[in-house]
Amino acid sequence: MPGPMEYYEITTYDQEGKPSLGGGMGKRQEGDSGMVNYVGVDSIERCIMKVQSLGGKVLMPRAEVPGYGFLAVCVDTEGNRFGLWEDLPK
């Protein structure tokens, strides 16, 4: 995928040949980048409000991935990081 870092897009397909789960893999960055699982959502902003109302925190606010969509990274009340993904409108 194009961008400032080496990154590989991963796409899977269901039994009918339709795109299914997907993601990406890149080299570990400085610090504790580790693995982050992303969940597809309709609205990152709405989900961030819910995360915060339940005691979670936003580590990286909504950011655009040009040509693909938007992402954000949060942490729950037990310290587990997770990402949110919102596709570009079609």
Task: Pick out the chain residues at pLDDT < 70.
Answer: 1-5, 7, 21-33
Model pLDDT for residues 45-62, shown as the tens digit of each residue: 999 999 999 999 999 999
Q: Characterise 79 by phi-psi region: left (phi > 0), alpha (psi -120 to 50), beta (else).
A: left
- Beta carbons within 10 angstroms of residue 45's beta carbon: 13
Report the pLDDT value the prediction gives residue 49, as an integer from 0 to 100. 97
The domains found in the chain, sorted by start residue, are: 7-87 (3.10.180.10)
Report the pLDDT value the prediction gives residue 9, as an integer from 0 to 100. 74
Report the pLDDT value the prediction gives residue 86, as an integer from 0 to 100. 94
Report the pLDDT value the prediction gives residue 10, as an integer from 0 to 100. 74
